[in-house]
Chains A and B, each alone.
Chain A
């Protein structure tokens, strides 16, 4: 039973996020921020489509000449995508938007009014509402527009709509005093930090993605330090489980391409005890009631049976979700190379349930970090999830994300999760004989390791299967081959291995023996080329190909076969011969 699905029962999470992306194109000819903002937005929309996300996204340009694209009769805005779940058409429209007429004078208030209207008229229930502005911060709106802009902005903030400003520029510059006021309003009157200028479409996309993301907690709990001392916390997962990205497949009817849903039907089948006419006794099928179902497993020669409701009760008799401190241990006891069980959680304070949690959380974090200790706690995230014991290890900036405080929750394996490896009982003696590794061998090994050292980053590998699948789908859906070429990030550049001394390795450590024989045999039958043994080649085909100059159609192994079959003498042996040489050999011999 999988209990960690991200469902949050708090009503505030109802609905889907709504995001309006506003791109400032005023004086674009000077700075050309449109190009980069456009690229980033396209990528964001594409990513949303890939993951079939249900976010409602709108994209608008402002600082343009008056147009009539707005539904609400706001002239100074060019609405490219209305607030909805982006469709393929929307994406194409955005992608093909490359030209626009810049406005003569810069107004900002209208576009904010437009955004507020869009949200008000959105038919879907929105869980969050945010406006993301992609803009430079050095050109203020014209003087008459400044006051209306600020009041529109505070209107938006008052109606619970977030305003995020992304500063697009390739260099640092002085921001206009008007935007200081604007940012202050956007930050709900609190102190604000001027957003750093960025100029990389992938970074911009990442920022927009983060702003638009829903932070669903696995659980929101009171972390019980002692009976009447609790800290409000949220339990999150920062990663998806492997394979979680593959969910968006649907089934279709081959004939009509209509969506097909699959239903699993559980039926009760009765076998009639017809003694005389067994052939005729058809099993009867009737729908099954849950109360009729028994779960059983054989133990000690008997079926041990439980009813369906008992089965549910067995799964978790330990009560409601909870988190409780049990004590502390030195940080060194948790070795990931020994005790990794499964993907951990991430713990973050939650002011919404208990005020003051962040302060206590930070104090605990600091104390643990300085004393190099981890907190041990019992945790049960859901009513139906198995309780665990885990360590809270203080972490800073996990996965290079901008998170300055938090704990990794590390699952401790229970004794039931550890398997005995009774493999080295007999080999222990053998291994003790190889206890001492020769210095020369170590030297070589270290040379190899140092040669192959890389800087690891958590986001350096992309799932090649998923990425190529996306591209295949996009090739059909968008008729585009180009976009970004597919690079398999999981395969290292072969050049890196050119300098390692594999010949010496073979000399010192070898021969290391072949791959298991059984497997190799299987593989031979698997790859078609080697299947045809030396005995037979299709001479007609060979003739045909020789005459029509189609020798290139043969694969190298096939060519080698022909050479063996024809008993062509090869002075230097076949290994290492190039295909061209092989073809020449065959041609020379046969013509």
Chain B
């Protein structure tokens, strides 16, 4: 069997003994607690990044002794426990870390030997590219080993290619100096390992690492004219990809709340004939095209008329001044780097020559790319680039087609009222100086003073998703946390910059007049003139408009207005009435206004929809029933007469039908009218509230339909 390849095998040696259990400062964390947290973070990072890694955990100073060397030679390598052997990192590793330190102590040098032995012999038929031992101890327990043995071990480690990292104590600090730390330093230096304190490590591991994508070349000949062909390989360099490419779907088992093993999700695509609602099988579906309101069927035979893009290729169209290609021209998906073909020195040489000449002449290439035989061609810009990581190559970015330009028009801004003064510009210049992000952090505290470095910032959304994954794995069933502060920091102005900009901001506020435009509510209460109302109705016969006008009716009871209503208008007669009543006016005070409003609503109406007028009448009538029935009855009498004069019999009929006829004595004893001349059974007051209800609900429905 061919050996499996693994990028890295790591063994973490975590000291859990008595000597690491005491906090260094009062109320601080002990070395053990810090070590445990750090080990957990390292495991988590390895899980999330999903690399080809193996990980093992060795406990130093454990109560039990369990390791290969101890088995081979009983009595040696005591208190060293192989907690997990080398394997793919998993959440259970984090869970199995001991929560309490032991009362024993172990020898760190022995632990190193155990780890080395395990990496060498513990896994079979596996080729390991990088072998790492991470030692987390404070070296308070001496190893009692003579120099000769140490030297021997180091040379053995070197031979096998082991790397020893020490995390935890600062092994270069004068304070911590002891013999064991000196030895540890020797290990680190001789095996080309690394060392860091817990604080530093935790800061470094603050954010997750996404699963890496292997660079896969797209191989093609870059052709310049018919005869020059340079073999090249293009690699994707920058691409916006989701952190988890595809989520799998499963059914929740209601008992365990986890994915069910007996139920699954099935997705089907069904084609339905929109005319007769029958299902059409997919082989009976053909492509069509909607053109000028007609459907043009486009079956296979017509495909011969279609464009043949040709074979996979990358053909130079020409070269143009670098400044001709601007950010606005680019609409591709990410960026690729183009190198001369691997192992083809001549191609690499030719490409390098091309890159240098393009740079010297300040030109870029325009190329036509066919990704694979028959794929639609796309145009790209080929720009020379010398990258910080020493790539000398061409960078390839998609440029737009004419068909993709939207040809937008914007309002003119070079008008006199939009001119800005020099003082205003200077004010912004001051702001720019104050908020220069290349100098955002104090040099003495940070290595890099630049804030928001391009391509070095982590993506807040990606980090949050990975956070959630880690949290859910370790805390199943618990609700997900909010983004942590470390992530939210990525949207905050660095404190130093904020401080520097404060004064300039004050100055800016003074030199510009910026008024927030209140979003105008569709409040037409102020509008009194009849004609405007009707004009709106004529021009916008849409239902949405009517509904907006009617909204207050729905919310009649809670309707409270801040601005005062002067008189009853025609648009919201009912609410106007209510508003004025709130101000203390009586029915008698308001009746003439209300009557005017109702009359103008009916006489001025053009669309034949009298619901608002009738609503107002209903309201007026109900108000009058309470106290002054004759107000209503007297008005109605003259009004009906007038209607008859104007031959508006339809309105009279409506008044009869809608229960807004005269108020009867049975409703209020003050009324002088005993019964309607015609069919009085129709007007039963108890139907009134129901009727209003019905109206409202249908309007609410319409309103939501239109939203």
User: Could you tell me the distance between the alpha carbons of A410 and B406 in the complex, rounded to whole angstroms?
Assistant: 18
Chain B residues within an 8 Å CB radius of A334: 454
Question: Would you call B238 and A328 a contact (CB within 8 A)?
Answer: no
A144 within 8 Å of B (CB atoms)? no
Chain A: minimal CB distance from B44 (Å):
8
User: Could you tell me the distance between the alpha carbons of A337 and B355 in the complex, rounded to whole angstroms?
Assistant: 13
Question: Would you call B464 and A314 a contact (CB within 8 A)?
Answer: yes
Question: Would you call B408 and A428 a contact (CB within 8 A)?
Answer: no
A311 within 8 Å of B (CB atoms)? yes
Question: Would you call B285 and A254 a contact (CB within 8 A)?
Answer: yes
Count A-B pairs with CB separation below 8 Å.
665
The SS class assigned to the B binding surface is mixed
Question: Would you call B391 and A269 a contact (CB within 8 A)?
Answer: no
Chain B residues within an 8 Å CB radius of A256: 273, 275
A259 within 8 Å of B (CB atoms)? yes
Question: Would you call A340 and B344 a contact (CB within 8 A)?
Answer: no
User: Could you tell me the distance between the alpha carbons of A254 and B271 in the complex, rounded to whole angstroms?
Assistant: 12
A544 within 8 Å of B (CB atoms)? no
A294 within 8 Å of B (CB atoms)? yes
Q: What sequence of 0s and 1s flags, for each residue 59-91 of chain A, a beta carbon within 8 Å of any chain B beta carbon?
A: 000000000000000000000000001111111
Q: Which residue of A lies closest to B481 (CB)?
A: A317
Chain A: minimal CB distance from B515 (Å):
4
B293 within 8 Å of A (CB atoms)? yes
Question: Would you call A477 and B291 a contact (CB within 8 A)?
Answer: yes
User: Could you tell me the distance between the alpha carbons of A422 and B333 in the complex, rounded to whole angstroms?
Assistant: 22
Chain A residues within an 8 Å CB radius of B413: 349, 358, 362, 404-405
For chain A, the bracket of interface size reads 35 or more
A258 within 8 Å of B (CB atoms)? yes
User: Could you tell me the distance between the alpha carbons of A355 and B516 in the complex, rounded to whole angstroms?
Assistant: 6
Chain A: minimal CB distance from B490 (Å):
7
B401 within 8 Å of A (CB atoms)? yes
For chain B, the bracket of interface size reads 35 or more
Given A354-B514, A412-B452, decide whether A317 and B272 contact each other with a Cβ distance below 8 A.
no
A578 within 8 Å of B (CB atoms)? no
Q: Which residue of B lies closest to A209 (CB)?
A: B407
The one of B235, B238, B320, B542 in contact with A413, judged by C-beta atoms closer than 8 angstroms, is B238
CB proximity to A under 8 Å, residues B536-555:
538-539, 542, 544
Chain B: minimal CB distance from A577 (Å):
18
Among A237, A296, A326, A334, chain B packs the most CB atoms within 10 A around the CB of: A326
Q: What sequence of 0s and 1s flags, for each residue 370-406 of chain A, a beta carbon within 8 Å of any chain B beta carbon?
A: 1101001010000000110100010100110111111
The one of B454, B483, B490 in contact with A333, judged by C-beta atoms closer than 8 angstroms, is B454
User: Could you tell me the distance between the alpha carbons of A403 and B512 in the complex, rounded to whole angstroms?
Assistant: 23
Given A423-B235, A437-B349, A453-B363, decide whether A513 and B219 contact each other with a Cβ distance below 8 A.
no
Chain B: minimal CB distance from A461 (Å):
5
Question: Would you call B318 and A496 a contact (CB within 8 A)?
Answer: yes
Q: What sequence of 0s and 1s flags, for each residue 200-211 of chain A, a beta carbon within 8 Å of any chain B beta carbon?
A: 000000100111
A587 within 8 Å of B (CB atoms)? no
Question: Would you call A386 and B461 a contact (CB within 8 A)?
Answer: yes
User: Could you tell me the distance between the alpha carbons of A230 and B368 in the complex, rounded to whole angstroms?
Assistant: 44
Question: Would you call A454 and B329 a contact (CB within 8 A)?
Answer: no
Question: Would you call B268 and A468 a contact (CB within 8 A)?
Answer: no
Q: What sequence of 0s and 1s flags, for each residue 643-685 of chain B, a beta carbon within 8 Å of any chain A beta carbon?
A: 0000000000000000000000000000000000000000000
Chain A residues within an 8 Å CB radius of B349: 434, 437, 509
Q: Which residue of B lies closest to A448 (CB)?
A: B224
Question: Would you call A264 and B267 a contact (CB within 8 A)?
Answer: yes
Q: What sequence of 0s and 1s flags, for each residue 396-407 of chain B, a beta carbon within 8 Å of any chain A beta carbon?
A: 011111111111
Given A310-B468, A453-B321, 13 other A-B residues pairs in contact with their CB atoms under 8 A: A262-B271, A263-B272, A338-B335, A339-B238, A344-B327, A349-B413, A367-B429, A419-B237, A452-B224, A458-B328, A468-B305, A497-B224, A500-B225
5 smallest beta-carbon distances between A and B, as pairs? A497-B225, A454-B318, A88-B292, A414-B459, A367-B428
Listed by A's residue number, 20 A-B pairs whose Cβ atoms lie within 8 Å are A88-B292, A215-B409, A225-B431, A230-B514, A262-B272, A304-B473, A340-B330, A359-B420, A360-B512, A401-B408, A437-B353, A448-B228, A452-B318, A454-B319, A458-B402, A461-B401, A469-B307, A500-B224, A502-B225, A512-B347
